[in-house]
Amino acid sequence: AQSVTQPDIHITVSEGASLELRCNYSYGATPYLFWYVQSPGQGLQLLLKYFSGDTLVQGIKGFEAEFKRSQSSFNLRKPSVHWSDAAEYFCAVGPNQGGKLIFGQGTELSVKP
């Protein structure tokens, strides 16, 4: 079955520190991969996406993610976290047999001053 796992429910980092959020997927074919961010009480905003080509993709707000087929992973990274990055982050993969996006459980990021 197709699935997405975000192993970390909650991560706390210090402002200015580097960040890596993990995402592992189970998918039978070449996946399309996405990272979304959700601020409290808001909808989801797309950070970046991977469809094909270069396995290191750049997104908005200084985020990047690397697709590693051998590890079935699509981890999100940022070299220096800002307090405004505190939010919930969702990894998604698609399409499944119904043409739908499958979301992970989300990782809540807190940023310490």
Q: Interface with another protein by CB under 8 A: which residues?
A: 32, 34, 36, 41-46, 49, 51, 88, 90, 92, 94-95, 98-101, 103-106, 108
Nearer to another protein, 3 or 80 (CB): 3
Rounded to whole angstroms, how far apart are CA atoms 113 and 102?
34
**Residue 16: CB minimum distance to another protein, A:** 25
**Beta strands 107-112 and 10-14, pairing class:** parallel
Least Å from the CB of residue 34 to another protein:
6
Nearest residue (CB) to another protein, 7 versus 79: 7
CB distance 49 to 64 below 8 Å: no
Cα–Cα distance for residue pair 16/68, rounded to 1 Å: 26
